[in-house]
Structure 1
């Protein structure tokens, strides 16, 4: 007996439409779980994170010792001992400074009381005088009520029955164990955390390669190249960033200590160390230390000069360190947007307290680097990274939609400092217009938006009329910021060169390039850009719309003497019939002219057409200009262009090869 077949699930129910919502919900739940784990597991996670960051700082020193043939284990132990010695020295210095300030406070008591009295006279004294005047006025207004209050108070003092009895509370004397616990608990907790950090850091340094392989096996075994690149990139750049930041913070702390000592502020070393530590908190860390130093200088100084000099010292030091030293060491940015830094500081300080505030930038930087290499975590790079959220082409198109050509021109001026005008048109304008062309084909662009796009783009092209097609400022190759990788264009590395310039008068070519725009809604705009580039490279150029070359009006066109024809259209990729027919008619009427089709997408359907094999195809404005310049030079040498001729057409008359084309602009009879 044959068993019954197992019923199959219909294919239409395999992927329900609620799947994206479920994935979003799972992502939200995962985020909440991670945040809860960070909050409730901070006692375990903080020492581990500190150990990882300490290993990043010590790793270069360990590598140096290993290169000196000291061995792996001795190198790690020696490096950790050096780090421990530095931490102990810093802690001892802070303790000594605090003890010294506590012992010297009686010396500053007179100055502090004098300053407090002066401040009270200017604030509280005036408030008391105002309140006294108000009380006098109230007494004058209601004397009867004041008399009632006085009699009521006399009656309450006359009856001692309801008076409260004094009560005293005496605590028992603490035992020796309680005394020891009370005094040792503040010391044991930091020592315990320090010991855990050192032990974990030692094992991380000893087993760096093994831990790396295990993490790759756990998270990136399917793509070893990406996982290895991400981990090596993160380790190298984070280590260099931390070392550079530590060096800068130490330098700032030393400068602050020396400056405060010269000014005469007590505890200069303490404030210098606090500045160096708090400077790990971006933007506000320096000024937290500055606030403490300024308040102390204002309290203990005989006048206000000490406070003013302290403010000036912190301001100048912070500007020099942030605007001069840091860009020289690891670029103009850490790789985080300013908004992300502030949000990260608030988040990590809420999760982990003051330690989280200090670690906010390194931890967020790790997340951003992780988002650069893991597709599912790319949102971290978008939210917290300092790279533009939109590409230049997308930003160009967005500005056209918003009818804001002024900002697009500002963007163009910035980009033209590192690239030529033709490169800007190809990389930004052309790509942005191709995005617009796709939106037009999808039917999502309204008539009003299309009108704004054309008007704004024409304003941008007109605004770039005076710009030469040259690289304005080519900067040598430089190292990207320590935290994140950058492309050549972001780092200011210029490799492209603009098309060659053509001198029509000197080279004997006097005819213009006839630019024919397609009938697409953006083709006139692309042809206008091409005409501008032709003229900047010494070629005469005339622009004609498609309507003058349509099938019904083509007989009225006089192409006598035309030697260069350029057809520009975004429709070249789709190979529409009207464009193929236009090219066929141009071949028949101007067989001796060089015909070039612009803005053809590579591997498009139009490239395989028989009519295209008789022409030159250009995928960008730069290739378009180069093709026209090459054709013009060839024509100035040969007298006539032999490329693009139909093999079935009769050969030109004798001497035609040496006859130069007359300077005739196409005449449109009846137009």
Structure 2
């Protein structure tokens, strides 16, 4: 291996390019394999998805002590029998509709003629729609059956009648004819046979396939990997069953509604509606086009078409926005952009079958990305969850100089959680990230000032929100980022809902400056200290922020606080902290000293640190500081038998 610095530098510079090219080559290779291997991969994908639906039925039979092989065969044959019955029903209804289409063409032509006459009376509209009407008339003529030959036609001479010339391809041999017919019949049968075979073996070898998946995902932590795989398969099974039930019910309602309206072949259109709804966003719209067209062609008026449109406009929103969230959540877990891209990609690779399989396959990938550590990137690319945590999103807004968006997200958060929870879990965590970047030299002094100003703007604005009590519980949607923040931070602490009245406080704590909050002087400590003062004030304790030099000359008796809180986002030397605490005790004898180290530390190190600096209270979160202050305020500020240590748990 070479040690030439120039060569090593060139290799480091070329590494991103090589990685990008390798990734592109891998993507192209996978796409080619999916495209050219679709004859095998499509049956496998269909069999896997079908197995997710059939697993609960197999488990139910197994609980009844039915042998595995018999249970699998019974369930699979029953499922394929139902699919075959549905297919034959679709074929029969489609044949009947095709036979009736010529009759509907006469009504359609009369309606087009009436529309042409109506638009001709309106001047410019006639030119606008003339091309559409001409095209519709041509379609109507094509749908009409050929006119029967009359006696007058037979009496016409050859001179008056144009000669018709027909060109016929030469007759093919018997073997070629049989080959073309057999190819059209055998290919679907072979695909169906492969799906049947793969489904049976997947259900029979489910545990063995699970073990192999665990081995591929990583067998170093069997408990975690097994739990992830089992959870992923159970989630997928529940999702596909719920989606199947919903879409079948949707098709049934549409079919019954079309039957009441009087649209021909309602069973066919109901089945098409149920199948089309597997295609997200546009499936229901596509399924409404054909029955609308038939309604226009069948009814001389427009009442049937209007009723069909109303039926779809009522049933689809109820299914999509009421029933669907109750069955499997507010969404499939896929981002809208990912749904569109997946539908486009799978349609290009596998045709119409790929369009139907796009959402289920993408759901599989997202679930695996959330549960299998090696596939985490799939959740980031395809999932609907925010790619960044609430703390990272907040800090990114500060770096981008956009505190307004952070304020909006904070207000959404405050609809469900307390301000102290938001400060602890989001803003304070963002301050830690900023402090770490500053310590690594990634933020110069000017940049630190800009970011610190953004933090202070957010804190000052959110501090002017509702001053007392718990947050209002809102039932309105709050967005994906706020929902993810709620899930990440968890519930509020008990003290978040406590607001003390003046009569609940000891005499020394009833003043407007009972708590003096002093920042350490760092670039971001002022924002942390302001959050501490706001938190205490919102819960009934008078608190104010004062500069560090306020203690140098002592405090007058009238301004003496009951507690002094020192805020350290990134602690300086312990000797400097001890000097600051001694100065505070000299300026206000008998005062309670609380030191806030806004960093994650283990309780043992916190205990040693508290003893080293001789503080009464040592906390690492605003919630802990609030608990300690409320306890002292109600107890009259008397020191406890042993110093209180409150570490973040």
Q: TM-score range by the shorter chain?
A: 0.7 to 0.9
CA contact (8 A) 2:463 2:534 kept: no
Of residues 138, 161, 168, the one that matches 1:170 is 168
What CA distance in whole angstroms lies between the structure 2 residues aligned with 1:281 and 1:42? 20
What CA distance in whole angstroms lies between the structure 2 residues aligned with 1:298 and 1:492? 55
Write the deviation string for residues 127-169 of structure 1: whole angstroms up to 9, x where unpaired: 99979xxxxxxxxxxxxxxxxxxxxxxxxxxxxxxxxx99864
Could you say which structure has the larger radius of gyration? 1
Write the deviation string for residues 276-312 of structure 1: whole angstroms up to 9, x where unpaired: 1111111011111112222222222212222222122
What CA distance in whole angstroms lies between the structure 1 residues aligned with 2:124 and 2:454? 64
What CA distance in whole angstroms lies between the structure 1 residues aligned with 2:267 and 2:29? 43
1:545 corresponds to which residue? 547
Where in structure 2 are the equivalents of 1:77-226 lying within 5 Å? Answer: 77-118=73-114, 169-226=167-224
Change (3 A) 1:35 1:568: same
Change (3 A) 1:124 1:271: farther
2:272 corresponds to which residue? 274
1:462 corresponds to which residue? 461
- 3-state DSSP class of the match of 1:516? strand
- Note the C-alpha offset of 1:120: 5.4
What CA distance in whole angstroms lies between the structure 2 residues aligned with 1:216 and 1:424? 38
- Note the C-alpha offset of 1:185: 3.7
1:288 corresponds to which residue? 286
CA contact (8 A) 1:47 1:197 kept: yes
- Note the C-alpha offset of 1:203: 0.6
- Note the C-alpha offset of 1:591: 4.8
Change (3 A) 1:577 1:234: same
2:60 corresponds to which residue? 64
Change (3 A) 1:178 1:304: farther
2:628 corresponds to which residue? 627
- 3-state DSSP class of the match of 2:570? helix
CA contact (8 A) 1:601 1:619 kept: yes
- 3-state DSSP class of the match of 1:571? coil
1:416 corresponds to which residue? 414
Of residues 531, 534, 537, the one that matches 1:532 is 534
What CA distance in whole angstroms lies between the structure 2 residues aligned with 1:522 and 1:66? 62
2:160 corresponds to which residue? none
TM-score, normalised on structure 1?
0.80
- Note the C-alpha offset of 1:232: 1.0
Write the deviation string for residues 191-228 of structure 1: whole angstroms up to 9, x where unpaired: 22111101110011011011111232344223323432
CA contact (8 A) 1:278 1:288 kept: yes
- Note the C-alpha offset of 1:590: 3.9
What CA distance in whole angstroms lies between the structure 1 residues aligned with 2:574 and 2:568? 11
What CA distance in whole angstroms lies between the structure 2 residues aligned with 1:231 and 1:642? 52
- 3-state DSSP class of the match of 1:510? helix
- Note the C-alpha offset of 1:427: 0.7
What CA distance in whole angstroms lies between the structure 2 residues aligned with 1:202 and 1:451? 64
- Which stretch has the larger CA shift, 247-256 or 101-110? 101-110
2:230 corresponds to which residue? 232
Of residues 428, 438, 441, the one that matches 1:440 is 438
CA contact (8 A) 2:536 2:542 kept: yes
- Note the C-alpha offset of 1:320: 0.3
1:562 corresponds to which residue? 561
2:491 corresponds to which residue? 494
- Which stretch has the larger CA shift, 111-120 or 12-21? 12-21
CA contact (8 A) 1:465 1:532 kept: no
Write the deviation string for residues 97-143 of structure 1: whole angstroms up to 9, x where unpaired: 10111222233121122234345557899899979xxxxxxxxxxxx
- Note the C-alpha offset of 1:354: 0.5
1:348 corresponds to which residue? 346
CA contact (8 A) 2:425 2:489 kept: no
What CA distance in whole angstroms lies between the structure 2 residues aligned with 1:543 and 1:338? 46
Write the deviation string for residues 585-613 of structure 1: whole angstroms up to 9, x where unpaired: 22444452211011342438786445434
Unaligned runs of 5+ in 1: 1-7, 132-164, 646-671
What CA distance in whole angstroms lies between the structure 2 residues aligned with 1:602 and 1:460? 21
CA contact (8 A) 1:368 1:381 kept: yes
What CA distance in whole angstroms lies between the structure 1 residues aligned with 2:55 and 2:492? 35
What CA distance in whole angstroms lies between the structure 2 residues aligned with 1:285 and 1:110? 30
Unaligned runs of 5+ in 2: 129-162, 645-649
- Which stretch has the larger CA shift, 225-234 or 261-270? 225-234
Of residues 310, 313, 323, the one that matches 2:311 is 313
Of residues 248, 252, 255, the one that matches 2:253 is 255
What CA distance in whole angstroms lies between the structure 2 residues aligned with 1:209 and 1:281? 31
- Note the C-alpha offset of 1:342: 0.7
What CA distance in whole angstroms lies between the structure 2 residues aligned with 1:58 and 1:606? 55
CA contact (8 A) 2:521 2:548 kept: yes
Of residues 516, 521, 524, the one that matches 2:523 is 521
Change (3 A) 1:575 1:257: farther
CA contact (8 A) 2:553 2:587 kept: no
- Which stretch has the larger CA shift, 607-616 or 523-532? 607-616
Change (3 A) 1:386 1:375: same
> 1:22 and 2:23 equivalent?
no
- 3-state DSSP class of the match of 2:495? coil
Equivalenced residues, count: 590
CA contact (8 A) 1:471 1:497 kept: no
CA contact (8 A) 2:506 2:635 kept: no
- Note the C-alpha offset of 1:498: 3.1
1:657 corresponds to which residue? none
CA contact (8 A) 2:250 2:274 kept: yes
What CA distance in whole angstroms lies between the structure 2 residues aligned with 1:47 and 1:534? 64
CA contact (8 A) 1:583 1:611 kept: no
- 3-state DSSP class of the match of 1:461? helix
- Which stretch has the larger CA shift, 487-496 or 111-120? 487-496
TM-score, normalised on structure 2?
0.83
- Which stretch has the larger CA shift, 442-451 or 589-598? 442-451
What CA distance in whole angstroms lies between the structure 1 residues aligned with 2:591 and 2:318? 63
Change (3 A) 1:513 1:127: closer
- Which stretch has the larger CA shift, 12-21 or 305-314? 12-21
